[in-house]
Amino acid sequence: MRWKNSRRSQNIENRRGVGGKTIIGGGGTMFAIAAIVFFLGGDPTPYLVEGVQQTISYNQAAPLSEEKEREYTEFTSRVLAGTEDVWRQKFSKFGHAYVDPKLVMFSGNVQSACGGANAAMGPFYCPIDQKVYLDLGFFEELQTRHNAPGDFAQAYVIAHEVGHHVQTILGISAENMKQRQVSSQTEANRLSVEFELQADCLSGIWARHLNQTGLQLEDGDINEAMNAASQIGDDTLQKKTRGMVVPDSFTHGSASQRQNAFMRGYQDGTLKACGIQ
């Protein structure tokens, strides 16, 4: 992906080296659920308690060299700007204003409006403060631990989290969480998968319209995104961490589901393709 001549976003908040409250262990999915429950006025405590008991397959990010940190900071700012350009244009077509999210870069741990979090959780979006949180070291994890190299794989991760912001603005996040609160665990997981796949689809829409921004697709970029979607699919991660696959416990979707969702958005380029009327 050609990105070095594109514009920078002004919505970057750099907290690297600052730190904040830390929660123990992993549980990124349950943390996200707790955030939405709090956002809806509910008590997030049960979700946070369950979340810290879970294990997620991300290691604590290793310190980055100054050169790498500068490169990733620049890259993240320009990719975020590309999402702003695409979604501002999309929203204007159906008479809505797009409110840009902030992206917080942190290292180690961070305090969000949804609570304390650490790098082991991976990137996440908090609907309460409408910010994306990213430890830049995750890009190294994506390449080395998850076998998903390439700058477009990294861009896909950012675009997916921005997809959750789009869902929040449109009221989809709140409605999905309301349904999950009154559902069985299996049904709640299914709704979570539906929610995450929609964010993948939205990231595909962004990729479809990427060339209308200062960013430019290159040969192999879409394959990088497809590989990343596969490597962080629930079935792939469960095979690595558990040695077995339990479909009823999926919360983000299988490798093939995530790939198909991204390609649906990419090939069609409309919100309708992602189930949004």
What is the extent of the structural domain holding 214? Answer: 12-274
pLDDT digits (tens, 9 = 90+) for 213-272: 999 999 999 999 999 999 999 999 999 888 999 999 999 999 999 999 999 999 999 999
- Residue 126, SS3? strand
Predicted local distance difference test score (pLDDT) of residue 121: 81
The pLDDT of residue 90 is: 95
CATH code of the domain containing 106: 3.40.390
Q: Domain for residue 7, yes or no? A: no
Residue 6 included in any domain: no
Quote the DSSP letter at residue 241. H
Residue 1 inside a domain? The answer is no
Per-residue pLDDT tens for 146-163?
999 999 999 999 999 999
Q: Is the pLDDT of residue 208 over 60?
A: yes
114 occurs within a structural domain: yes
Tally of domains within the chain: 1
User: Would you say residue 41 lies in a domain?
Assistant: yes
pLDDT of residue 60: 52
pLDDT (tens digit, 9 = 90+) per residue, 104-115? Answer: 999 888 989 888
